[in-house]
Amino acid sequence: MDVTAEVSARIRDIFAEAEVARIVIALRDGDGDGGGAVSDGDSDSAGVVLKGDKEGAEINSGGGDDNDDGDVLRLVGGTVRDIILGRELGDERDFATPLLPDEVEARLKSADIQTLTMGKDHGTITAVLQTTNGHRHLEITTLREDIETDGRHARVRYTRDWRMDSCRRDFTINALYADAAGRVYDFHGGLEDLAARRVCFVGDAAARIREDYLRVLRFYRFSALMGDFGGDSSARSEACAAAVGGLAGLSGERVWSELRKMLSGKRGWVGALGAMESDGVLAGIFPPDYLIDDIAAAAERLYGLEKEVAPTFATADKGLFRFASLFELIEDHKGLNLLIKGVSGRLHLSRRERDYLGDILSPFKVKASDDLLFRRRVYEQGVERVLHRLILLRTRGVLDGELFGGCVEFLRGWRAVKFPVNGDALAETLGLGEGPELGRILRELEDWWLSRDCEPDRSACLRHAPTLLH
C-alpha cells in the first residue's frame, strides 16, 4: 500500500495540532546531543521508510541510527493505521519516544504542561493540555523491549531502537510509526497487510500470544475491523485455537473490553463471532451450557433484523446487545440468575450491565402487541430493551414475523409517559392506609390506565379507582 500525499498531509496536520505541537517543542527543548534518551547502543532501524511529499510518496530503504536530530516523537499504532485506512480519528493519539519517562515528565513540566504518571512504571507519561472544550490527554510511551512475559504482564527495558519497539507489538498493522514530516515507518510489512485487509502477527504468532493471551481476542477484533478471517489462517487455526486455555488467566475487565469493542463495530463482528465459535474461543471464556447453538447463523439473523429496524430505532450500546445475543433465553428465574451471576463474575460487569442482561434474557412471552403484559413491560423497561428482547425472540424463531412486525409498529408509536397517580393520592381518595390492599388497587389502576393507551389523566384515574375496591 502506498502512502499517499493525502496520508502524509493528515499526519503532518496531527503534529501541527496546537496541543501536539506544544509537546514536540517541549520534548525537543532538552540537551542538543539527545540527553535523556536511552543509551543502550546504536539503533538498527533498517526497514521501509516511506516519505510523503507534495508530489506523492517516495519509498526508501534505510538503516543506521533512526533517531535523527529532533526526532523525539512519533505517532504509533492504531492512529497511523486508521489514518492510512482513511478512518475518522477521535481525540486520542498514541505517541512513542526514545526519551526516558523521567525525562519526558521533566521536559513537559518545564514547558508548564501538566502530567499524569499512573502508567510511568510501564513507560507511559500522559500529557494533560487545556483546550477550549476542557482537557485533552495524550499518551507518550518510551520505546521498550520485552525481557520477560507470563501471558498477562511483561517486564520491559527501555531502548532507543524503533525496530526493537516494533517487535513487541501484536500485529503488523499496529507496528507502524509516523513522524512530523509525514513519513511512515514500516518494519514488518504492515502496509502490505493493510492493503490486503489482512491481520498478521509480528513474527511468530504463538510466541506473540504466549506473551499476552489477550492477543487471541485482539486477533478476532482486528479481523472484524479488517473484514478478514482467512488471511492468517495458520495463526487462527494453530495459534489462537491452541491458546484458548490461556484465556482463563486474563482479568474479566480486559476480556470484556476486547469483546465489547469487537461487537460494537460494523459488519465484521458477525464473521468474528463465527470464527470464535468454530475455534472454541467463546467456549473457552464461558461455560458452553450458557451459549446458544450455531452462534454464526444467529449472528447473521441478528444483523439482518438490526438493519430492518435501524431506520426507526437507534441502539445506544450495540456491543452489550450483541453480547447478550450469545446466551440462551432462560425461562426460569433461578436459571437466569445463575447465568447472569456466572457471566457477570467472569467479566466483572457493572450493575447497569447486569440489569440489562436480566431484562432481555428474562422470561417474556408475547401474545399480541396490545397484550397488557407486553404494554407493561414497555412502560417499565422502555422501548429499547423491549425491542432488543423482541429481536432475540425473532432471531431464535420463537416469534413469528407478523407478530414481530406488529410489536415493532406498537413501539414506533409509543411515547414515554408517567402514571399520573401515586400512592398518597390514591390513599386520600379511597380513605385507605398503607398496606397490601392499597398496593393491589394501585397496580390494577395502573393496568387499567395502560390498557387505555395511557390516555386517562389524573382525575379520570381517581374517578375509576373506587370501582376496584373489593
Amino acid 39 reads S
Q: Tally DSSP H helices, then E strands, for the chain.
A: 23, 11
Question: What pLDDT is stored for residue 152 in this prediction?
Answer: 61
Is the domain spanning 5-196 CATH 3.40.50.2000? The answer is no
Cell of 242: 491452541
Question: What pLDDT is stored for residue 121 in this prediction?
Answer: 85
Taking every pair of C-alpha atoms in the chain, what is the biggest distance, in angstroms?
93
Cell 431506520: give the residue: 311
- The span from the CA of 277 to the CA of 273, in Å, is 6
Question: What pLDDT is stored for residue 312 in this prediction?
Answer: 66
- The span from the CA of 269 to the CA of 282, in Å, is 13
Model confidence band, residue 237 (pLDDT cutoffs 50, 70, 90): low
Cell of 50: 516511506
Question: What pLDDT is stored for residue 4 in this prediction?
Answer: 87
pTM over 0.85: no
Question: What pLDDT is stored for residue 148 in this prediction?
Answer: 66
- Is the pLDDT reported for residue 151 higher than 70? no
- Is the pLDDT reported for residue 40 higher than 60? no
Q: Please name the helix (run of DSSP H) or strand (run of DSSP E) that holds residue 156, with its range, or none.
A: strand 154-158
CATH number of 213-281: 1.10.110
pLDDT digit string (tens) for 69-115? Answer: 448 999 999 999 999 999 888 878 899 999 999 999 999 999 999 99
Question: What pLDDT is stored for residue 38 in this prediction?
Answer: 52
Cell of 230: 482467512
Q: How far is CA 242 from CA 196, 205, 265, 281, in A?
A: 25, 11, 26, 9
Model confidence band, residue 236 (pLDDT cutoffs 50, 70, 90): low
Mean predicted confidence (pLDDT) in 416-428: 90
Q: What count of Cα atoms within 13 Å lies in the side-chain half-sphere of residue 401? A: 3
Cell of 433: 392506609
109: number of Cβ within 10 Å: 12
Cell of 236: 487462527
- The span from the CA of 184 to the CA of 52, in Å, is 8
- Is the pLDDT reported for residue 47 higher than 80? no
Nearest of 147, 148, 149, 175 to residue 162 by alpha carbon: 175
Question: What pLDDT is stored for residue 130 in this prediction?
Answer: 84
Look at 4-8, 219-223, 311-315 and tell me which has the smallest mean pLDDT: 311-315
pLDDT digit string (tens) for 172-187? Answer: 999 999 999 999 999 9
Question: What pLDDT is stored for residue 55 in this prediction?
Answer: 32
Give the SS3 label for residue 187.
Answer: coil
Please state the domain extents for the chain. Answer: 5-196, 213-281, 286-416, 423-468
158 φ/ψ angles, rounded to the nearest 5 degrees: -85, 155
Question: What pLDDT is stored for residue 132 in this prediction?
Answer: 78
